Amino acid sequence: MSGIFIDTLTWPEVESALSTYDTVVVPVGAQCKEHGLHLPLNTDWVFANYLTRRVVEACRVIALPTVGYGYYPAFTEYPGSVNIGAETFRDLVCDICRSFARHGISKFYILNTGISTIEPLAAARQALLADGLRMEFSDLRDMAVAARKSVQRQSHGTHADEIETSNMLYIAPQLIRMDRATPELAVDRPGGLTRDPHATAGVYSPTGAWGDPTLATAEKGRVVTEAIVEEIIDFLRREFRV
């Protein structure tokens, strides 16, 4: 491996690694967030772990364990979904980075697999910049755009949908219950997902999905996931010289 995972090392081994590696990767992926009837709560966590492993294989970075809790307010109507406040999440990320900054690390990459996490991550980046630290993060909305367009057939949707389900069929098919996949194509409205058919705000989804996961295939997932991996690695090599 070009990089290392440090959670199983002793602190002297970490101290030695910090003299060799200058970039820390912090994966962020919800371990408790609903993903419809067919995907497990830890879908984002599984995806973050997969992407991190690919990055560690290709880049000289230090990878931390995946942060399993974050700012996910859109899913709280569905049991099992955990949300922490935006400011709490911002401070959590800052504290993780500062823990390594005191030992000489000044470059951090948040391998982010959420959407609602983007705003507090941007705030964290500004706070860390004031400390002289560089932090960048992934924004899946802007990644693998051409790849997604080339395979997507659903009219709309972004959660537990055709693309996200395809990604999971590619990396962890044993976790998927495709016989339970259900299309959910309600009109987009401001707010989170809602189970309430009488709600005046939010996207109505009795199952918790939004999009058409029945269109998912492992091949579509390969196309999109590999494009994401390539873009992350290219960014790290270009911007962090790892």
Encode pLDDT of 107-127 as tens digits. 999 999 999 999 999 999 999
Tokens of 43: 């879908």
Identify the pLDDT of residue 1: 60
Tokens of 44: 């984002």
**Does position 6 have pLDDT exceeding 90, yes or no?**
yes
Identify the pLDDT of residue 95: 98
Identify the pLDDT of residue 158: 97
Identify the pLDDT of residue 99: 98
Q: Which pTM was predicted? A: 0.96
Average pLDDT (8-31) is 96
Average pLDDT (142-162) is 97
Encode pLDDT of 163-183 as tens digits. 999 999 999 999 999 999 999
Encode pLDDT of 78-111 as tens digits. 999 999 999 999 999 999 999 999 999 999 999 9
Encode pLDDT of 201-215 as tens digits. 999 999 999 999 999
Identify the pLDDT of residue 201: 95
Distance from C-alpha of 41 to C-alpha of 38, rounded to nearest angstrom: 10
Identify the pLDDT of residue 66: 98
User: Which residues have a Cβ under 8 Å from the Cβ of 203 and sit 6 or more positions away?
Assistant: 186, 187, 188, 189, 191, 192, 193, 194, 210
Percent with pLDDT over 70 in the chain = 100
188: which DSSP letter? P
Identify the pLDDT of residue 71: 98
**Does position 60 have pLDDT exceeding 80, yes or no?**
yes
Mean pLDDT of the chain: 97
Residue 146: pLDDT band (50, 70, 90) is very high
Identify the pLDDT of residue 78: 98
Look at the block and give the residue holding tokens 């009219």: 155
Identify the pLDDT of residue 55: 98
Domain boundaries, the chain: 4-240
Average pLDDT (52-69) is 98
Instruction: Kindly report the CATH number that applies to the domain delimited by 4-240.
Output: 3.40.50.10310
